[in-house]
Chain A
Amino acid sequence: MKQVTATAALATTGDCDPFGLTASPLAAATAPMLVIASGMSHHMCNDRTSFSKFKKQSLPIVIELEDNNSVAATHYGFVDVIQGYQVEALHSPTFRLSCLSINQLDLGGHTTIFQDRKCSMTSPSSCTLARKLINGIYIIVPTTILLSLTTENGKRRQRDSSPTTELTIEPTIESTIESLGAPIAAKSKFTRKALTISESRFWHRRLAHMNPTAMKSPVKGYTNDDSMCTVCIQAKHKQKFIKVPVKRTTKPFELVHSDVCGPFSTLSLGDNRHHILFIDDYTRYTSVWLLPNTKAKTCNSANQSFQARVD
């Protein structure tokens, strides 16, 4: 699979549709953005909300990536490619893009032709999909949120020649809805649709890993993701203090607490820097010995004299 690095930034240009990507508003609620990939063995989708008939795998499928990492796909289900046409796909929330595998399309009896910078797929039930080549990637975008894809240097790269194609995905919030057939049905500048989980994650990273509960105020349509962000765990990990009440003992010297205090910067009269305390748990009878250092020999002699006092 191709390693796709996606960084997100707000697009400043607004309403225009630079790549001629038009979308059906009916399919937009469920269908994800799909990238046509030749190296994938299965269809993959990262968006849980796109699935219908979401099921758990009996054994999770391990997907090996090109950068020697591996990802486990635990669920599978059916995803709308376009409205009314579904494929079976694996679910992996760690993928940044959803991919349509050509191998699987071929096994399913589809004919896929790449020609004239277009990709046309013909299914057995004579359902035809055709997509343009956009900056090195064949992409099916049936979502309401417009995604403009540009390569890093603004140049077009052939996807087969470069193993790592860097993408910048810029979701424009003020998106244009253009219904199929009608020229411009509605310009919904101010209606904010619910963001997909991957877009919500972009916003989570963009706002310096903000608390998901607080994200709902600045980011309209933020959908909370149940899976934890690993960066958040690493950066904000805190020890939980559990105070367990301990039973006091019932006999003197059943339990003795001990700790060494020091070093103090000033030597005492006997050239000592530390002191060691022995506290009986039942009576709180405390004994102290001054120590020149915390070596084993000096501590042991203090222990022995304490034992001698107790005995």
Chain B
Amino acid sequence: MRYEIKRFRCDNGRGEHDNMTFRLILAAHCTTYEPRHPYIHHKNGVAERMIRTITEMAWAMMIDSQAPIQFWGEAVNAAVYLHQRSPNGSLEINDRDGYKAPYETPYEMVHGFGKPMHNADVNKISYQASLHNLGRFRCYPSRLIPEVQRHQGKLGPRSSPA
């Protein structure tokens, strides 16, 4: 994406971020380290709120798909993928002089920043990712048929939907 991280803000996590290796990684990329005060979680409010947003999206998909709980990692990954490609209300903060920001989603904002403004009517340039590959988050359980029960021999189906 050819960006540089200027500042890195996190809570004062002992062990996670507060170690020399992490400082060296940040220093190698010329990033300023900004830990918030310990035990004051609202100082890290953006991250805490985003955790709630992602978790709510993931849990909605988990309940909808009736997937077992060990699939939470997949649900969280899918929620972040969808959040990048969803319109975000907070991006309209960048209004200047009544001019509305042209980007609606984080994805097109990251990929289209500094490039020619897209205009849906004239240029037809859009940095928004294609959403045609999206499918429903769901779970296909299937049952393996033992070899002796396969009526059509080797050419028959090996499993049946549960």
Q: Which residues of A come within 8 Å of B, CB atoms?
A: 241, 248, 250-261, 264, 266-270, 272, 275, 277, 279-288, 290, 294-297, 299-300, 303-304, 307, 309-311
Contacts and interface: CB of A to CB of B under 8 A. Distances in A.
B92 to A, nearest CB: 11
Contacts of A272: 73
Given A257-B50, A283-B103, 7 more contacts: A252-B109, A258-B8, A259-B44, A270-B73, A277-B47, A299-B17, A307-B29
Contacts of A275: 73, 76
30 contacts: A241-B42, A251-B6, A251-B113, A257-B9, A257-B50, A258-B8, A258-B17, A259-B10, A266-B69, A266-B70, A268-B70, A268-B71, A269-B73, A269-B74, A277-B47, A277-B80, A279-B46, A283-B110, A283-B113, A284-B50, A285-B110, A288-B54, A288-B76, A288-B77, A290-B76, A295-B15, A296-B19, A299-B16, A303-B22, A307-B25
A271 to B, nearest CB: 9
Interface in B11-65: 11, 13, 15-17, 19, 21-22, 25, 29, 42, 44, 46-48, 50-51, 54-55
Q: Chain B contact residues: over half helix, strand or loop, or mixed?
A: helix
Interface centre among A251, A253, A282, A311 (most CB of B within 10 A): A253
Contacts of B70: 266-269
B106 A286 contact: yes
Interface string B144-158: 000000000000000
Nearest to A243: B42
Contacts of B77: 288, 290
B1 A311 contact: yes
A311 B2 contact: yes
How many interface residues does chain B have, given as a range? 35 or more
Contacts, number: 143
Interface in B83-116: 83-84, 88, 90-91, 93-94, 103, 106-107, 109-110, 113
Contacts of B121: none
A257 B42 contact: no
Contacts of B10: 257-259
Contact of A257 (B21, B44, B91): B44
B17 to A, nearest CB: 7
A286 B1 contact: no
Contacts of A296: 15-16, 19, 21-22
A211 B6 CA distance: 50
Interface of B: 1-11, 13, 15-17, 19, 21-22, 25, 29, 42, 44, 46-48, 50-51, 54-55, 69-74, 76-77, 80, 83-84, 88, 90-91, 93-94, 103, 106-107, 109-110, 113
A64 B21 CA distance: 54
Given A290-B73, A310-B5, A258 B109 contact: no
Given A248-B94, A259-B51, A285-B107, A264 B72 contact: yes
Contact of A310 (B1, B17, B42): B1
A309 to B, nearest CB: 7
A296 B22 CA distance: 8
A244 to B, nearest CB: 9
Contacts of A287: 80
Contacts of A248: 93-94
Contacts of A285: 84, 106-107, 109-110
B54 A286 contact: yes
B6 to A, nearest CB: 5
Contact of B106 (A250, A257, A280, A310): A280
B110 to A, nearest CB: 5
A57 B77 CA distance: 69
Contacts of B22: 296, 299-300, 303
